[in-house]
Structure 1
């Protein structure tokens, strides 16, 4: 199925967790040495698509992983995440802080939504925003393929959004994990590339 099945003005690029604290060398993950080239390459690859979709009347939505500050400003971190990423500390993924923000290369998003779990739909206003803006189709990109992306895509599917996943617009911490996650999403999403969707948007705009 091509993007032409749903008009671009009812389509949103859903950028999952491409934030400074994940990607920038000075962010929480960068300081801890938790970065890989496949993730670092995403913003530059996605940027032309975001620009083209917006120019054609579509929406760019950024979901941003958030560590909500609790007493004394200490972040409320789930036990499994604390075990997985023990380097996370006070100030990381803090709402409104530099590390919490979408990376500069993809600024500004039309809509930003804070998220506290893998899925961007879990206890957030994302679905409300999408319905209010008439969005019927989502083009998903971001990190990580097997975590935030996969959970969000599956939740979009059960909410009956038409969903596309950009195989080269997502990444995980290893290529093998990324590839496995992409294959697992084929039953619920269209799997394609940034270049193919970009070509479809441009073709529709020129029609």
Structure 2
């Protein structure tokens, strides 16, 4: 994909799951010991890209992993996630709660969409709001590179959105996993570092 004709007003920075419960030292994942230095470094890297795109009239889109509360507020948790992250509990990733929110450093988002699976397009209003906003190009960041980022980017690709991926604006829990995912996704998305993206956007 070529970004030569990119229109900032039709471009969105997709921030996948950079939420308090995932990344903040007081969030659910930190409480459960599921932390990563690579992931912790992402907000500071992604913020300049968000700022640059905002300044050019572009869009910042936050997709937010959600544990939908059921009776008595107990969340519906998929079996594979419950096995992987047994520390998850009531009020984690709950709409309206602090943990569910986009990290303060990256706010405000122009569009916010709850996601209940790896792909933010699955059973959500994401495609609808993107079309209403006139967005046809998406730059991807967030976590995890091989999970929510990869699934959402691939779904965007098959929906004919032009796509790019921030190679150091995404992260996983293992470097090798991240590197393999970036190499794979670079076959359908333009890879660029956050610094390269800022320079590219500012030159438009």
Alignment TM-score, normalising by the size of structure 1: 0.96
In 2, the alpha carbon distance for the partners of 1:155 and 1:111 equals 18
1:91 corresponds to which residue? Answer: 91
1:6 correspondence with 2:10: no
Residue 163 of structure 1 corresponds to 163
Q: Deviation at 1:4?
A: 3.6
Shift of 1:50: 0.4
Shift of 1:135: 0.3
CA distance in 2, matches of 1:176, 1:82: 24
Q: Map Cα deviations across residues 30-73 of structure 1 (whole Å, 9 max, x no partner).
A: 11111111100100111111011011010000000000001111
CA contact (8 A) 1:63 1:112 kept: yes
Q: Do the aligned residues in 2 keep the contact of 1:3 with 1:200 (CA within 8 Å)?
A: no
Match of 1:78 in 2: 78
How many Å apart are 1:190 and its aligned residue? 1.1
Q: Give the Å deviation of 1:3.
A: 3.5
Aligned to 1:52: 52
Aligned to 1:33: 33
Partners of 2:113 and 2:140 lie apart in 1 by 14
Task: Quote the Cα distance in structure 2 between the aligned partners of 1:17 and 1:152.
Answer: 11
Q: Which residue does 1:196 correspond to in 2?
A: 196
Tell me whether 181-190 or 143-152 shows the greater mean CA deviation: 181-190
Larger deviation: 192-201 or 148-157? 192-201
CA distance in 2, matches of 1:148, 1:201: 25
CA distance in 2, matches of 1:149, 1:63: 10
Q: Could you tell me how far 1:2 is from its partner in structure 2?
A: 5.2
After TM superposition, what 4+ stretches of structure 1 lie above 6 angstroms from structure 2?
none
Q: Deviations over 1:68-127 (max 9, x none)?
A: 001111100011111111110001000010000000110111111000000010010000
Give the unaligned 5+ runs of structure 1.
Answer: none
In the alignment, which residue of structure 2 is the partner of 1:126? 126
Which residue number in structure 2 is paired with residue 187 of structure 1?
Answer: 187
Q: Is the 8 Å Cα contact of residues 2 and 200 (structure 1) preserved in structure 2? A: no
How far, CA to CA, are the matches of 2:88 and 2:69 in structure 1? 12
Distance 2:136 2:56 in 1: 15
